[in-house]
Amino acid sequence: MAPLCAAAQSHAALSDPTRPPPEALQLQSPSAVPAPSVPRKPVLQSVLVGKGHEGREVAVIDGEVVRKGQAFHGAVLEEVGANVAVLRRGNKTETLILFPLAAGSRKK
């Protein structure tokens, strides 16, 4: 019986190699101060523009279908193009690009 007790005690001293370090566990504790949330820019996911069809200017922004002139989170969708949508908040406009990485990498 003594060998079994000795084996159980030696296993108790072993640490779990997959357990995160104590510093990481402290960051996840409920007493940790959450980081302030930074407002993120809306993401244009799709556009639908029909030539000659009024009201067919639609953008999908952050998963929401928004028609031209419709409100979106305190802004109004002012313009929809082939790969852009323009939101207006008061006197400020924000241009959303459908594929911003592709547009920024083009050579001029």
Per-residue confidence (pLDDT) for residue 103, from 0 to 100: 57
Spatial separation of the C-alpha atoms in residues 77 and 88, rounded to whole Å: 7
pTM: 0.58
| Number of C-beta neighbours around residue 80 at 10 A | 21
Q: What domains are defined for the chain?
A: 44-104 (2.30.30)
| The predicted structure's pLDDT at residue 70 | 96
Sheet of 44-48: strand order equals 44-48, 58-61, 64-67
Per-residue pLDDT of the chain (108 residues; tens, 9 = 90+): 555 555 555 555 677 888 877 777 666 555 556 666 777 889 999 999 887 666 589 999 999 999 999 999 999 999 999 899 999 999 999 999 998 776 555 555
